Structure formats: C-alpha cells, structure tokens
Chains A and B, each alone.
Chain A
Amino acid sequence: MSVLVNEASKVIVQGFTGSEGTFHARQMMDYGTNVVGGVTPGKEGMKHLERPVFNTVENARKETGANTSVIFVPPPFAADAIMEAADAGIEVVVAITEGIPTQDMVKVQEFLKDRNTTLIGPNCPGIITPGEAKVGIMPGFIHQKGGVGIVSRSGTLTYEAVDQVTKKGLGQSTCIGIGGDPIIGTSTLEAVKMLMADDQTEGIIIIGEIGGNMETDAAEWIHQNGTKPVVAFIAGKTAPKGRRMGHAGAIIGGKADTASAKMDAMREKGIIIAESPAEIGEKMYQALHQ
C-alpha cells in the first residue's frame, strides 16, 4: 500500500492550459500518473495534451471519474479553485500555488470542515508514491519505491532528503509535501498518522521548520501511538526571530517555535533528531538497521 495517491488515482489538473499546468501535467504523465483531464473555465470541449478540458471540476469529475486534483491556479483564484474541487467531491486536492492570501485560506479551512476532502498544501511540491503516481512538481527520477514515508514543509529540502534515502538504498513509500504556509490543509500530525497506519511504510522522516507547533504536536502523538522509527530535521536553527524565511509560515513567533526548541521537544518524545541536513538519510538507515 501507500497513502493518498497510487496507481489507481485518476488525476485532473486545475489551471490545465496555463504554462505551469501544462509543463507539470506533461511531467506527471511522463512519470506514469493517470492524468484524465483538466479544468480551465471557458475552454470545455478542447483537448490539451490529448486530454479533455472541462469548464468546471464538477463536469470533469462526472465525465472522467477523477478522484484527485492538482492545482496550478494563480494565487488570486487558488482558494476558489480548492473550494470548487472540494464541492465537486474530489477526495484528494493538492494545491501547489504559492502566495495565497492568508484570509482566503481561513475561509477555505472553514469550508473544508464539513466535506470529505483531504487538502495537501498550498505552497507545496505535492505528493508522490514512487513507481505509481506523481501528483506535484517534484523531480520523479530521484525517487525509488521503498519503505520510508516522508512528511515535509519544504520543496527542495524534501528532494535532498529523498535523494539521501534513495542513495542509502531505502526508497520511499509516499512523500507528502504538506506546504510552507501558515494555514495548510494537512498538518504534520495528520500526515504522520496516515503513514503510521500504512503497511508499506517502515520508517518516517519529518522535515519541519521554524514557526507554529505542528512538529511538536506530531511528536506528542508519536510518543503515545508510534510504532515505527521517526527521524526529524527542523530547518532554521540559525534564523533570526520575527523574520519570514521565504515561506510565509516560516517565522519565529515565540520561544516554543524556534528550531532548537522543536528539536529538543521532539527528542524528549523519542524522535531521532538529525542535527545536520546532511545526515537525514544516514539516521533513517541506522534506525531501520538496528
């Protein structure tokens, strides 16, 4: 097994005909993802990348049976796109878009409360289950099917961890880029719970950063319920207080959300901490071969 996406996932692309949507849809298809169509309002009836284009997510779902959507819509329209997908009953919505206003996401969060949609992101690289489906913008070739689940708030830092894991001969079950914004659809804890329940996953890597309490919340749960080794790296030990470090959510607000405070709290809960980003793969390897 794996989580969220697999070879049975039927994927539509929102913002299909735009340059980002086009480029990454093609990359996903080349990887083997079952992209069944896309949505661009006003272009229904057209074919794009040999796939049908629809005006609405509702139509796309009806015609193709899609259960997964990936969003490349520009920030002013992205929150709306997420709500449209949820309203149409899409089960997994992956929002790649960076730069959505926070108050738009406050509304989205409320909207999703009564719906059976799992939102991943926004401001994330997406999800990949190696060898089955890539729903996002990550480079496919660094991944390898295996037993390590990865949960991360970052993009390229995730690729770094994936690459280290692959070079250790371990491979990944599913890698979930949960996103770098202050409000995201799936928290570190929720992603960890999925991977903890997944048969294929033997160990979990958490890549966190400064800001918020998500990593320590996850550590608390793992301490009580964890059944697999968990390795964590928290980026931003050298980040100054009160500055936004690239990601909208990466800002130190108080004493508890510094990288050091998080690492200490997680270590106390039995999480294996990688002090250096260069040793994430090595720590996982050791944990699985003890």
Chain B
Amino acid sequence: MNIHEYQAKELLRANGVAVPEGIMIDQAGQAEEAARTIQKKTQTSAWAVKAQIHAGGRGKGGGVKIARNLQQVKEHAGHILGMNLVTHQTSEAGKQVNRLLIEQGIYYPGESEPAEFYMGILLNRDTGRNVIMYSTEGGVDIESVAEQTPHLIFREEVEAGLGIQAYQARRIAFNLGLHGEAFKQMVKFVIKLYNAYLATDASLMEINPLFKTSDNQILAADAKINLDDNALYRHKDYAALRDTSEEDPFEQEANAHHLNFIKLDGNVGCMVNGAGLAMATMDIIKLSGGHPANFLDVGGSANPETVEAGFRIILKDTNVKAILINIFGGIVRCDRVAQGVVDAYKAVGQIDVPVIVRLQGTNAEEGKKLIDQSGLKVQSAISLQEAAQMVQSTME
C-alpha cells in the first residue's frame, strides 16, 4: 500500500524518527492558521508548501514551494491545492492535488552548511535481508546517481536475527562525512529509522533528502513509505491511511469484489485464474496483435459471481474490443467454470464484443460443449494456441 508523505512522516514521528514540524490541510483557507501553529512551535520564518500525491518529482512539477512569509503561504496553498500536477511518475493527465503539507522551513542560516543525503531501506531479494542504501548525493533522483556515480551509493545489510548494530550506524555516518553533533544525530537517526521500518512492516522507506540542518540536526525532509500488504492484518489502523482518490476507479470496484485487477490501456480484456497465467495471457494477447486492457486474476474458484463481476468491470472500458477468458481447471472443474461464464454472460445481458473462452484441464471437453451449445456469441478453445489464433482473427 502506498501512503502520502504527511502520513509517512506521522508514522516516522510516532517511531521516534526526527521529521520537520508539519500540518496537513485540504482547504487553502486553513493554510495561514497551520503556518502560524508551526511558527509558534518552531519559531520558523519560512515554510514549505508541499502537494500530497502518490508520485515522485513533485518539486519539478511545481507542487512544492518555499514561502518566506504568511502571505506567500496563502498564495502557494491557493495555487497548488486543486492544481493538476504532472510529474515524471504520473500519467500525462497528471493528478489533482487534494491535500497539502505545510511544513517548517529547514534551510535556515547557522553554524555549518546544510547538507542533503539519500537513505532508503528495502529488501535485498538476493540475500533475503533488509539493506540500507545511502548516498552523499541527496535531493536528486537516486536512479541517476546509481547510473552516473555508482561509487557514491553505499549499502549496509542487516542480519535479521540481530537487527541493526551501532557500528553499522557509525559506518553510515562516517561514510556520509559527518562529525561532531551531526555524526551523533545521524547514528541515532539510522537506528530509529531501521527500527521504524521493521515496526511498520514497510516494504520500502525512502528518505530523500535526508537533511542535515545548519545547527546539525538530522531530519527526514521527505519521506516515502510503502507498506507490505501482507502485513496489514497486524496494523489495523493503517486502513485509515488509504486514499482511494489515488486509486483507479476500476481497480477499486474490482477490489470490492476481491478480484486482483490492474487497469492497462489496451483493447483486449482478459480474465484468468492464477497470477502467472494471467501475465502469460496478457503476453499472448500482445503476440496475437492485440494489447491487454487489464490484468485480472479471478483466483482459484472462478465462480459465476466473480466471472460476472469481472465481465462488468472489463466492459466499462470502452476501449475493449474483445475479451479472452483463460481458465486452467485443476481443482476447479471446467464444466463448472463454463456454466459460470454462461450464467454471467446472461446476467450481464448485452455484450457487444466477441468473447473467447479457453478452458483446459479437468473436464475441459464438457466445458467446451457447454459453451458451444449455449447459443451465446462465445467462441471456445481448448489449447492456448487456438485461443491466441481466435484473438488474432478478431484483431484483423
């Protein structure tokens, strides 16, 4: 699950990780009040006004502004809230900004130069361990750092049973070139951040920039957290962090029916049992001259209810010119799936695009017969090759 920056920072703060003071608002009229509250707490004379959307590159797109006075806070808030923010991570249409984070300014003059670093914690799939990736080059796209100056990216892997050790945090702080108070603060920050990563069941924590202020405080100036969906059951309060306005409406509806659905922009819809076979079915659609309109795994059961829900969601997409249903019957019998398809087809009523049903496995022949005798405009196939050819001829 993806969450907003302000939510990520709340989780970090709750786990003892240092973040700037900030307040989330969803109306421009709340901006001044929020800025004043932050000023009272921190005596700041500058603020950051930051668009809250689930995409990176917000600054470049004009979604992050620095305000030097309360008037500017109001102006920036009025401008950014409601804007359509286009970044390299959004679609061309962009995303509407519905929430803002007003935050204390952190670039103030002081005894030392401020500095920006990068820190990310994630799983190293090769070793099955968590790894802290960090770099002296912060505040920029880490992927380009990895490409151009890979020697400036460091990795610290953590043993699962033991957790992060102090010497590891010290090594990180030394590699970042810190000393004195900033060094001490960084050691503390790294340990807190790693423990927050475990405590929240995050699958990714990315702090970019990781900021050293002019008075040697270490702060998470930005924060991106992805949460492990499989662990949500032990964090019931995270349900409130979900922002459905960030989700595709088709995917939301599918979700309500417990279907695993991802919207794509092609012209052939598909419905498959099993994630791997679903991906392979998308691939075969492409090889047959079409473009997959979605990923849809109906799971093990493929009963009339799920097939009907799948039909309805796929058919809402007016780009869809054909639908391929691909079921490999193992435990689930193909004749039962076929009956489900027939029932669902009738329940949906009018279906104006060709439907191809490929049934293989347990009772495949019986299933095919059931489809062929239904009188519906549904083509049936047994082998994957046959089904691919049928998709191809509908595309021609």
Contacts and interface: CB of A to CB of B under 8 A. Distances in A.
B341 to A, nearest CB: 17
Interface residues on A, range: 35 or more
Given A102-B203, A110-B160, A160-B384, A239 B279 contact: yes
Given A76-B233, A137-B331, A156-B273, A243 B123 contact: no
Interface in A158-185: 158-160, 163, 180, 182-183
A277 B281 CA distance: 8
A204 interface: no
Given A154-B275, A157-B276, A209-B279, A103 B228 contact: yes
Contacts of B159: 110
Given A107-B160, A160-B360, A249-B125, A278 B276 contact: no
Main DSSP-derived SS at the B contact region? mixed
B273 A248 contact: no
B: interface residue count bin: 35 or more
A102 B231 contact: yes
A238 B123 CA distance: 25
Contacts of B283: 235-238, 259, 276-277
Contacts of A250: 275-276, 279
Interface string A243-282: 1111111100010000100000000000000011111000
B203 A157 contact: no
B303 interface: no
Greatest chain B CB density within 10 A among A141, A154, A213, A243 is at A154
Contact of A106 (B123, B266, B280, B284): B123
Interface stretch (B9-17, B236-244, B285-293, B367-375): B285-293
A139 B330 contact: yes
Contact of B129 (A106, A139, A239): A106
A207 B260 CA distance: 21
A75 B230 contact: yes
B231 A101 contact: yes
Contacts, number: 171
B198 interface: yes
A81 to B, nearest CB: 16
A56 to B, nearest CB: 23
Contact of A159 (B272, B278, B361): B361
B385 interface: yes
Contact of A212 (B125, B280, B383): B125
Interface string B113-136: 000000000010110111000000
Contact of A141 (B161, B262, B362): B362
A106 B128 contact: yes
B182 interface: no
A158 B125 CA distance: 22
A32 interface: no
Contacts of A210: 279
Contact of A139 (B231, B275, B361): B361
Contacts of A246: 260, 274-276, 278-279, 295, 297
Interface of B: 123, 125-126, 128-130, 143, 159-161, 198, 201, 203, 228-231, 233-234, 260, 262, 264, 266, 272-287, 291-292, 295, 297, 328-331, 360-362, 383-385, 388
